[in-house]
Structure 1
Amino acid sequence: MTQRNVINASVTPKGSLETLSQREVQQLSEVGSGSTHKLFRQCALAILNTGTRIDNAKTILEAYEDFEVRILQQDRGVRLELFNAPADAFVDGEMIASTREMLFSALRDIVYTESELSSARIDLSTSQGITDYVFHLLRNARTLRPGIEPNMVVCWGGHSISTEEYKYSKRVGHELGLRSLDVCTGCGPGVMKGPMKGATIAHAKQRRVGSRYLGLTEPGIIAAEAPNPIVNELVILPDIEKRLEAFVRVGHGIIIFPGGVGTAEEFLYLLGILLHPANREVPFPVILTGPSDAADYLQQLHDFVGATLGEEAQKRYQIVFNDPTEVARQMTEGLREVRRFRRERNDAFHFNWLLKIEEGFQRPFDPTHEAMASLPLRRDLPPHELAANLRRAFSGIVAGNVKDKGIRRIEQYGRYEIHGDTAIMQPLDKLLQAFVEQHRMKLPGGVPYTPCYRVVS
C-alpha cells in the first residue's frame, strides 16, 4: 500500500459525546493509558480509511505510522486533533459527516468500556454478567429501541466477494427494504455493505424515514473491515465474542450470504447457540442464500454442518438459491413468529433475553498456537459444544489471515495446527480447501494465499 495524501484537522462531535471527564481524557491520552490510546488510534485510523479496498490491519497501520490523534477537553466540549490523517476522509477540508459520526461513536464505546470495566457494577465472571454488559453497552450507544416490533435483520457474509455475489446481496437488501425491514451487518465492505445499499434505495421508494443501518464491529476486525459509509449506527464491542452476542441479542433473524472463514465462524457460533437444549423452542429465522454461482459454496457449508453437527443442526436454517424475493418473504414470515413468541412470553422486542448463551460462547478466545492445537474437536461432544470449538478454530484462522496480532504470530511461530477426530478433520479440511480453491481466502494485492493453518487428524 502506497502512502496516501494526509491532512491535519480539528474535529468536534455532533449529537453525542459532547463532553468527557478529566479522568476519561487522561485514560485516552498518550501519557495516560497507553493501551487505551493505542486502541482508539487504531479504530480512528480504520474509520478514516472508510471506502478503501485494503483488508489487512497490519498494512493500514504500517502505511500511516505517523498518524496521531489527541483528545482535548475544553470549556465548550471535546475536540479531536488529527495529524497526518487520510485525506480521503475530508471534502474541501471538512470531514465527511458519516465519518465524523463514526469517529465519535468509536470514542463513545471505548470510553464506556474503559470506565465500565473498572466499575463494581460489571461482573464478567458470570454468563449473566457478560450479557448485562453487552446490554448496557448497546443501551449506552442508543441502539436499543423499546416498542419497535421485530424488524432488524442481520446479514452475514464475506467482505471480499465476487461482483455477482455483491449484486445479489444488494437485491436481497432491496427486497428487505421494500418490506420496511432494517439491516444490521458487520459494517464493512462486501456483504456488509450490499444489503444496506439495497435497503437504502428501497426505503427511499417507500418514503420511509428513520431507517436503521446498524454496524457491529470490534477493534481486532475494524482495521481490516473499515465501516462502510451507509452505516448510521456504529457500535464497537470490546471483543469478537461480545460482538457475536450483540448480533443475536438485537437481531430478530439472520441471513447468511457467501463468505469465507469469518462467515463460517459466525454461522457455527449461531448454530451452537440454537442447538442448546434450552433454545430448542426459541424461534430464530436463519436463511442461507446466494446467487446461482454460489450454489457450490452453500452446499459445501451445508454438507460440513451435516458431517460434523448432524441433521438436527441442518434443521435450524433454510437454504434459498438465487431468489431475493423468496428470501425476504421467508424472513418476514419468520419475524411474525418471533413477534408472536415474544409477546406470549413478555420478552423484549429490542433485546433477546430468553436466548440461552453459555459462557463457552462468551469468553474471549485468544488464538495462540497452543490454544489452537488444544481445541477439543471430538465426535463425543454435545453438538452445541462441538460447534463452539469449531467456531474457535475458524476464529483463529481469521486472526491469522487478517488481524495484526494473528499475522505477526504466524510470521513468528509458523502455521497453526488444528487437531481432532478424523471424522471432524476430514470435512474441515475439505471445506477449507474449497474456500482456497474458490478464492475465498484472499489477501491484499492479489498475493497467492498461503494457509496460516495445518489440519491434523
Structure 2
Amino acid sequence: MKKITTRITPDGTLDVLSQWEVARLAKTSSTQMYDTFRRCALAVLNTGSEMDNTQEVLDAHKDFAVSLIQQERGIKLEITNAPANAFVDGKMVAGIKEHVFAALRDLVYINNELMANCALDMESQEDITNAVFHILRNAGAFKGNERGNLVVCWGGHSIGETEYQYTKKVGYEMGLRGLDICTGCGPGAMKGPMKGAAIAHAKQRQAGRYIGITEPGIIAAESPNPIVNSLIIMPDIEKRLEAFVRTGHGIVVFPGGAGTAEEILYILGILLNPKNQHIPFPLVFTGPKEAAGYFEQIDDFVAKTLGKEAQALYQIIIDDPKAVARAQRDAVEAVQTYRRDNQDAYYFNWLLTIDEDFQRPFKPTHDSMAALNLSKNQPVHKLAANLRKAFSGIVDGNVKADGIKAVAELGPYHISGETDIIEPLDALLKAFVAQKRMKIPTQEYVPCYKIVR
C-alpha cells in the first residue's frame, strides 16, 4: 500500500497556535488529545476506504503520524505515511486538507478553550447546550444560514446502490428548492443527499452548504465524504446529536442500521417530551420502493414500543423524492414563521427542551448495557432515551475501537427488558442483520450484542 509523507499549511484559517497549544498536541507528549487528533486526521485522509471498523483502520496505518511545526508565520503539519488516495500527483486534495485543519480547529477549541478555560459547567443542561452552540459558532456553522433552510439527513453509511441513488434524487430535489444539507458527513446516505443537492445548487447558481457533523469515536468508520464543505467534530455522540437538532430546520431519514435507529429514537424522544409538543419539527422517513419493508419494520417497532403518539410525529414517503422535498420546503417555512413569532434564532433552536438523558454521554459497558431500563413503566420519552442508549451501545460494539475491544475480551453486550419491548427490538435487529445493514455488505456480521429473555 503506497503511502506519502508531506507538509501542509492551512489556507486562511487556524494560521496561529500558541506554544502551549502546540505543546499539548506534540507527539512526544503522548496525550489523549494528540491521539484523538491523529485518529481524526487519519480518518480524513482515508476518505473513500471501504473499512467501517475503527480498529481495522488504525491497524492498517500503524506507521501513520502527524506532527505540528510552529513557525513565525503560522503552523505546518508534517504528515508521515499518509494514505496515497488523499493526494493527486503528490499534492494533497484541497478538500481533504481543509478537513484535516477543521479537525485540528475543533479539537484545539474544545480542549483548550471550551473545556480548560471556559466557565461553562458540563454538568449543567443549559451549559451543555451553550457548549454545543460555541463549538458550532467557532466552526462557522451559522454563516450564510440565517434563512433557516438546513435539512438534516440521516441514514446508513453502507446502504446499497438503489438506496444510495435514491438519496441523491432527494438531495437534488431539495437543492432545487433552495435547501441546504447537513449529514453525519460519511458515505452512503450521508453523501448521496449532498451530491444531489450540489448539482441542483449549481443549476440554481446557489452556493450550497454541506455541513458534516461527526465525533472522534466514529469518524474512522465514517470518514468525511468529499462533498462536505463545513466539517465539524463534536466531543461525543450526544453533543453531535444535539448539534443536529439545534441547527436543523427539518430531518429526512433514509434507510440505515443501528446508528440510524439511534438517531430516530433520539429525535422521537425529544419530540415526545411534553415541553416540545408545540414546537414544529418536520420529520420524514423515506426510501425507494425497495425500502418500503424497512420502514414498515421501523414503524412497527415504534408502534409497539413508543405507541401511536410517537408514530404521529413523522410521515413516511416512499419512492417520491419531489414529495419529500416539497414537504420539507413547506415545513421549513412553518419553522421559520414559528421562530420569528417566538423570537427564537433562525440558525439555532434554543427553545427546544432536551432532557439530561439525551445530553449526558452514555458510556456503553457490559454493566451499563445490562442495566438499561427497557420497560413501559416510565414516561414514553424516557423509554425512547433508554432504547437510544441500547442502539448506541450496539454502534459502539460494531465500529468503535473501545467497544470492539471490550466485546472481544468480555463477549457480547447483554440487553434485557420487558417482553413487549425486547421482542420488537430483537425482531428489528434481526432484520438489520438479514438485510446486511450492520456492516459493509461484503463483510460477515458477528453480533456484538445478545438479547436476554
TM-score, length of structure 1 as denominator length: 0.98
Match of 2:62 in 1: 65
Match of 1:327 in 2: 324
Is the CA contact 2:52–2:220 (under 8 Å) kept in the aligned structure 1?
A: yes
Aligned-pair identity in percent equals: 57
Is the CA contact 2:52–2:439 (under 8 Å) kept in the aligned structure 1?
A: no
Report the alpha carbon displacement of residue 148 of structure 1 after superposing the two structures with TM. 1.7
**What amino acid does structure 2 have at the position aligned with 1:118?**
A
**What amino acid does structure 1 have at the position aligned with 2:242?**
E
Match of 2:115 in 1: 117
Is the CA contact 2:41–2:103 (under 8 Å) kept in the aligned structure 1?
A: yes
| Structure 1 residue 442 corresponds to structure 2 residue 429 | no
| Structure 1 residue 155 corresponds to structure 2 residue 153 | yes
| Structure 1 residue 455 corresponds to structure 2 residue 451 | yes
Is the CA contact 1:216–1:236 (under 8 Å) kept in the aligned structure 2?
A: yes
What secondary structure sits across from 1:158 in the alignment?
A: coil
Aligned residue runs from structure 1 range 31-430, under 5 A: 31-32=28-29, 34-115=31-112, 116-145=114-143, 148-209=146-207, 211-430=208-427
Where structure 2 has 5 or more consecutive residues not aligned to the other structure, the ranges are none
Matches of 1:120 and 1:431 in 2, distance apart?
A: 43
What secondary structure sits across from 2:217 in the alignment?
A: helix
Is the CA contact 1:219–1:237 (under 8 Å) kept in the aligned structure 2?
A: yes
Matches of 1:290 and 1:443 in 2, distance apart?
A: 19
Cα deviation, 1:59-111, whole Å, max 9, x if unaligned, reads 11001000000011110101000111111111112110000110000000000
Report the alpha carbon displacement of residue 125 of structure 1 after superposing the two structures with TM. 1.0
Report the alpha carbon displacement of residue 118 of structure 1 after superposing the two structures with TM. 1.1
What secondary structure sits across from 1:200 in the alignment?
A: helix
Cα deviation, 1:394-448, whole Å, max 9, x if unaligned, reads 000011111111111110000100011111000000100111111112257x332
Report the alpha carbon displacement of residue 174 of structure 1 after superposing the two structures with TM. 0.3
Matches of 1:46 and 1:353 in 2, distance apart?
A: 32
Is the CA contact 1:146–1:350 (under 8 Å) kept in the aligned structure 2?
A: no
TM-score, length of structure 2 as denominator length: 0.98
Matches of 1:415 and 1:52 in 2, distance apart?
A: 27
Matches of 1:364 and 1:442 in 2, distance apart?
A: 24
Report the alpha carbon displacement of residue 34 of structure 1 after superposing the two structures with TM. 1.4
Matches of 1:322 and 1:348 in 2, distance apart?
A: 34
Matches of 2:144 and 2:88 in 1, distance apart?
A: 37
Is the CA contact 1:146–1:349 (under 8 Å) kept in the aligned structure 2?
A: no
When residues 339 and 104 of structure 1 are mapped into structure 2, their CA distance, relative to the original with a 3 A threshold, is same
Report the alpha carbon displacement of residue 449 of structure 1 after superposing the two structures with TM. 1.3
When residues 92 and 147 of structure 1 are mapped into structure 2, their CA distance, relative to the original with a 3 A threshold, is closer
Matches of 1:398 and 1:441 in 2, distance apart?
A: 9
Cα deviation, 1:207-254, whole Å, max 9, x if unaligned, reads 112x10000000011000000000000000000000000000000000
Report the alpha carbon displacement of residue 33 of structure 1 after superposing the two structures with TM. 5.4
What secondary structure sits across from 2:27 in the alignment?
A: coil
Greater CA drift, 446-455 or 95-104: 446-455
Is the CA contact 2:272–2:380 (under 8 Å) kept in the aligned structure 1?
A: yes
Report the alpha carbon displacement of residue 302 of structure 1 after superposing the two structures with TM. 0.6
What secondary structure sits across from 2:29 in the alignment?
A: coil
Is the CA contact 1:272–1:383 (under 8 Å) kept in the aligned structure 2?
A: yes
Matches of 2:344 and 2:249 in 1, distance apart?
A: 12
RMSD, aligned CA: 1.0
Is the CA contact 1:26–1:33 (under 8 Å) kept in the aligned structure 2?
A: no
Matches of 1:386 and 1:335 in 2, distance apart?
A: 29
Where structure 1 has 5 or more consecutive residues not aligned to the other structure, the ranges are none
Matches of 1:330 and 1:443 in 2, distance apart?
A: 31
Greater CA drift, 252-261 or 46-55: 46-55
Matches of 1:375 and 1:124 in 2, distance apart?
A: 23
Is the CA contact 1:342–1:349 (under 8 Å) kept in the aligned structure 2?
A: yes
Matches of 1:38 and 1:416 in 2, distance apart?
A: 26
Is the CA contact 2:163–2:291 (under 8 Å) kept in the aligned structure 1?
A: yes
Matches of 1:287 and 1:192 in 2, distance apart?
A: 15
Report the alpha carbon displacement of residue 15 of structure 1 after superposing the two structures with TM. 2.1
**What amino acid does structure 1 have at the position aligned with 2:450?**
R
Is the CA contact 2:50–2:440 (under 8 Å) kept in the aligned structure 1?
A: no
Equivalenced residue count is: 452
**What amino acid does structure 1 have at the position aligned with 2:66?**
V
What secondary structure sits across from 1:455 in the alignment?
A: strand
**What amino acid does structure 1 have at the position aligned with 2:451?**
V
